[in-house]
Chain A
Amino acid sequence: MTGSIALLGQPNSGKSTIFNNLTGARQHVGNWAGKTVEKNEGSFTYQGTKYTVTDLPGSYGLSGNSDEEIITTDFIKSGSSDLTVVLVDASQLERSMFMLAEFARLDKPAVLVLNMMDVAKEMGKKVDAEALAKKLGIPVLPFNATDSRDYEKLKKLISDELKTPHRLIVPAPAEQADVKADSKSKFDWIRELLSDVTKTEESVYKMSKFDRVMTRPILGKIICIGVVLVAFLVAMLIMMPFMGIGQMIPTLLHDPVDKLLTGWNVHPWIVSIFSMMIPNVLYFTISMASFVFGVNIVFGFLEETGFLARAAYQFDGLLSKLGLQGKAICPMLMGFGCTIGGACGTRVMDNWGQRMLAMSIVWAIPCASIWSIIPVISGMFFTWWQTMLVCIGILLYVVVTMIVVSKVFSRKLAPVENRSGMIMELPPYHKAHWKHIIKEAFFKAWDIFKRALGTVTLVSILFYVLSFSKDGNVDNSLLYRVGTFIEPVTRFFGMGWQTFMAFVSGAFAKEAVLGTLNAVFMGNNSLMEATFFAKTAPADTALLGSVMSSAIAPAEALAFMFATTFNIPCLMALSTTYKESHSLKWTVKVALFYICNALVLSCIVYHIAALFM
C-alpha cells in the first residue's frame, strides 16, 4: 500500500524542517516538468505503508502568477496527492492562515498543522485547536517541530486521514474580481474563523537591543560583513577534514591501481585514466561536496537564527541597483571564498530569474584560489606596489563586470516589471536546530556529489584527450597543436600559446594555472599531471618566474592575469551552477559571456599596457 501527501506553507512556517524530519535520507531533488523550479520529494514508511511526500514550492500565497504558485495550484488541483498538509505558524496565526484561505478554494482533503506552538506559548498566546478543527471540519494538530513525539502524531494522523479523508466544511472565502477586495475577503474569512480560537493582540513592538544595533545603517552592514567572513572561515574548517581525505585519494590510489592494471597488461593510456584521472575526479568532487557541506551548515545556521534576514534588510538598497535583492548579499560575500559556495548560497532567493542572475554575478567575484595565484604571477613581473595596483585594478573591474552582467542578463532574467523587490518578514531570533541543519547540509552535499561526478568526469576526459601525449612531452599533445595553430588569433587577444593554455586550464580549476605554466614553460612534466596534480606537486615558482619573465612581456602577463581572473570560474563552479539552476541553456549563455568578456578584456589590457611597458 502507498499513499501520497503534499506539504504546503509560507516561508518561515517550518516546512523544510518538517519535510526533512519526516523523510530523513529518503529524499530526492528533481525538477517540475518543463520548469526550472526545484522539486523536492521524499518518503517515509509508517506501519508498513509507504508515503511519498512532496514539498510544494512557493511563497506567501497561491494567487500570484509565479511559476512556483502555478505549479503548486496545479499540483493540488490535479489530485496528484491524496492529502495536503497545510502548515501555519501558531505564533503569527492570523497572517499565516492566509495560505489556508487560498487553499480553501481548491477544495481538497487536508489537515492543518499549527507549527511553532512552543513559540506561541512563550509569547503567552493561547490557540484552541479543537475549536478551530470543529469550525474547519479538518483535523488540526498542534505541533512543535523540535519534538520527535509530534512527528509520530503527524504520521498517525496522515495514515488515518488517508483512510477517511476530510475536506473543509467551512465555505471558502467569497471570490472577488478585484485583488484588493479578494484579499479582504480572505482576511475576513480568517478573522471569522479565529474569532473564538485565539486573540490577535495589537501589541506595541519593542525591538531587542541586539536588533537595534543590527538594523543600524552603517554599523549593521559592518557587522554583517564580519559575520559572513567568520562564517566562511568556519565553513572552511568544516570542509578541511573531508578535503584532506579527498586529497589523499589520488596519491593513495595512483600506485596500486597503476601496478594492478599494468600487471594485467592494460594499455598505458587506459591505466592513466584509472590511476590518475578517476582518482582526481573523485578528489575534485569530494572537495566540492565537502565545501557545499560546510557552506550549507553555516548558511543553515545563519538562516535559522534569523541573521540572514537582517543581512538582506541591510543590503537590499545596494543590490536592487543590480536587479537583485537583499537576500543575494550572503552568497556574494561567500563568493570571495569560493564560487561554488556562492552559487549554492543563492538558494535563499525565491525567484528563479533573480537567482540565476545572482549566480552569474557571483561568477564575477574572484575566489580565494584566484587571490592566491595572482600575487604569485604578478610578483614574477612586477614590484610589490605594482602588484598591489594589479589587485586594486582587479577589484575595480569586479564592480564593472557585475554592472555589465546585470545590464546584459537582467532584462531577460529579472525584467523590471516582474522584478520583485524584497518584501520579507524578519523572524524573531531562533535557536538553531543543529541536528536538522547538519542533516540537511549532508543531503545537499551528497546530492551535489552524486550529480557532479558525471559532469566532472566527462569534462576531465575531454581535457585528458586534449592534453594527452604519448611521451609525456607537451609538444605532442593535441592542445599544443591547437594552441600553436590558433596562436595568431590568441596573440590578438594578448596571449601567446603558453599563457593561452594556462588560461584554458584555469577554466578547469584555478589551482591548475601555476601547474600548467610550469608544464608549458619548463616542459618537465606533462600537462595532464600539471593539471591534475596541481595541489599535490606545487610548482617551483622562483625558477618558473625567471623563465617566464624572460619568455613573455609584462603586458602579456598583465593581460593573462585579467583574463584568468574574469574568465568562467572553475569547472566545479560551472557544474554547481548548472545543478542549482537546472538550466543548461542559461549556464552556457553566462559561460559564453564570461569567456568573451575575458578575451576582450585581455585584448584591451594587452594593447593598452603594451603602449606603456
Chain B
Amino acid sequence: MKLTETKADMRGRISAVSGDNHFMNRISSIGITEGTPFQTVRNDKKMPVLVYLRETLISLNRADAERIEVEKQ
C-alpha cells in the first residue's frame, strides 16, 4: 500500500520509493530508503503525512508520500 493509505500508529517497512533523481536524492538524504522501518504518526486528509523513522519525526507532503510504497509489519 501507499504511505498515504496508512493509518496512525501503523508500523511497517518502506518497500519501494520511486521518482526522479532529484526526488530520490531528497528523500534518501532525510533517511527514507527502501527497507527502513517506520511508524505512521498522523495521516489526516489534505495534510502532510507524519512518519517516525530513524529516530526522527518527519513531515512529508502528500504528493511525495504518494510515491512511497510500504508494507505492514
Interface residues of A (CB under 8 A from B): 59-61, 63-65, 91-92, 94-95, 98, 102, 179-180, 183-184, 186-187, 200-205, 207, 215, 217, 309, 312-314, 316-317, 320, 325-326, 418, 420-428
Binary interface encoding of chain B residues 42-60 relative to chain A, with 1 for a CB under 8 A from any of its CBs, else 0: 1011111010101111111
Docked-complex contact A64 and B44, CB < 8 angstroms: no
B1 in contact (CB, < 8 A):
no
Residue of A nearest to B35 (CB): A184
Residue of A nearest to B53 (CB): A95
4 closest A-B pairs by CB: A61-B29, A183-B28, A60-B29, A421-B61
| Other-chain residue from B27, B39, B47 in contact with A313 (beta carbon distance below 8 A) | B47
B34 in contact (CB, < 8 A):
yes
Chain A residues near B39 (CB-CB < 8 A): 204-205
Distance in angstroms between the alpha carbons of A61 and B54 in the assembled complex: 16
| Other-chain residue from B29, B34, B52, B59 in contact with A98 (beta carbon distance below 8 A) | B29
Chain A residues near B33 (CB-CB < 8 A): 180, 183-184, 187
Residue of A nearest to B40 (CB): A205
B17 in contact (CB, < 8 A):
yes
Docked-complex contact B54 and A92, CB < 8 angstroms: yes
Known A64-B22, A200-B54, A217-B47; further 14 A-B contacts with Cβ < 8 A: A92-B56, A179-B24, A183-B29, A187-B33, A205-B52, A205-B57, A217-B44, A312-B59, A317-B48, A326-B48, A326-B59, A326-B61, A423-B64, A424-B58
**Min CB–CB distance B47 → chain A (angstroms):** 6
Chain B residues near A312 (CB-CB < 8 A): 59
Number of B positions contacting A (CB below 8 A): 37
B2 in contact (CB, < 8 A):
no
Docked-complex contact A423 and B55, CB < 8 angstroms: no
Docked-complex contact A423 and B26, CB < 8 angstroms: yes
| Other-chain residue from A63, A201, A313 in contact with B29 (beta carbon distance below 8 A) | A63
Docked-complex contact A422 and B56, CB < 8 angstroms: no
Distance in angstroms between the alpha carbons of A60 and B27 in the assembled complex: 9
Distance in angstroms between the alpha carbons of A423 and B24 in the assembled complex: 12
Distance in angstroms between the alpha carbons of A420 and B63 in the assembled complex: 10
Residue of B nearest to A63 (CB): B25
Docked-complex contact A420 and B26, CB < 8 angstroms: yes
Once A180-B17, A180-B34, A215-B42 are accepted as A-B contacts, the answer to whether A422 and B25 lie under 8 Å apart by CB is: no
Docked-complex contact B29 and A424, CB < 8 angstroms: no
Docked-complex contact B59 and A422, CB < 8 angstroms: yes
Interface residues of B (CB under 8 A from A): 11, 17, 21-22, 24-31, 33-35, 37, 39, 41-42, 44-48, 50, 52, 54-64
- Identify whether the interface residues of B are mostly helix, strand, loop, or mixed: mixed
Docked-complex contact B37 and A425, CB < 8 angstroms: no
| Other-chain residue from A94, A180, A203, A426 in contact with B59 (beta carbon distance below 8 A) | A426
Q: List 28 A-B contacts (CB under 8 A).
A: A59-B29, A60-B26, A60-B30, A64-B26, A94-B31, A94-B54, A95-B31, A95-B56, A180-B24, A183-B24, A186-B28, A187-B28, A201-B55, A202-B37, A204-B39, A205-B52, A205-B57, A215-B50, A217-B47, A309-B59, A313-B48, A326-B48, A421-B61, A421-B63, A422-B59, A423-B58, A425-B58, A427-B57
Distance in angstroms between the alpha carbons of A144 and B47 in the assembled complex: 35
Chain B residues near A59 (CB-CB < 8 A): 26, 29
Docked-complex contact A179 and B25, CB < 8 angstroms: yes
Distance in angstroms between the alpha carbons of A184 and B28 in the assembled complex: 9
Distance in angstroms between the alpha carbons of A275 and B72 in the assembled complex: 74
**Min CB–CB distance B31 → chain A (angstroms):** 4
Docked-complex contact A426 and B58, CB < 8 angstroms: yes
Docked-complex contact A95 and B28, CB < 8 angstroms: no
Docked-complex contact A320 and B61, CB < 8 angstroms: yes
Once A215-B42, A316-B48, A325-B61 are accepted as A-B contacts, the answer to whether A91 and B22 lie under 8 Å apart by CB is: no
Residue of A nearest to B37 (CB): A202
Chain A residues near B64 (CB-CB < 8 A): 421, 423
Chain B residues near A426 (CB-CB < 8 A): 50, 57-59
Chain A residues near B56 (CB-CB < 8 A): 92, 95, 425
Docked-complex contact B55 and A91, CB < 8 angstroms: yes
Chain B residues near A202 (CB-CB < 8 A): 37
Distance in angstroms between the alpha carbons of A61 and B45 in the assembled complex: 30
Distance in angstroms between the alpha carbons of A217 and B45 in the assembled complex: 9
**Min CB–CB distance B8 → chain A (angstroms):** 9
Distance in angstroms between the alpha carbons of A420 and B27 in the assembled complex: 11
Residue of B nearest to A325 (CB): B61
Distance in angstroms between the alpha carbons of A368 and B23 in the assembled complex: 40
Residue of B nearest to A424 (CB): B59
Once A95-B56, A200-B54, A325-B61 are accepted as A-B contacts, the answer to whether A423 and B41 lie under 8 Å apart by CB is: no
Distance in angstroms between the alpha carbons of A209 and B36 in the assembled complex: 27
Distance in angstroms between the alpha carbons of A183 and B24 in the assembled complex: 9
Docked-complex contact B29 and A422, CB < 8 angstroms: no
Chain B residues near A200 (CB-CB < 8 A): 54-55
**Min CB–CB distance A61 → chain B (angstroms):** 3
**Min CB–CB distance A134 → chain B (angstroms):** 24
Distance in angstroms between the alpha carbons of A427 and B47 in the assembled complex: 18
**Min CB–CB distance B53 → chain A (angstroms):** 8
Docked-complex contact A179 and B28, CB < 8 angstroms: yes
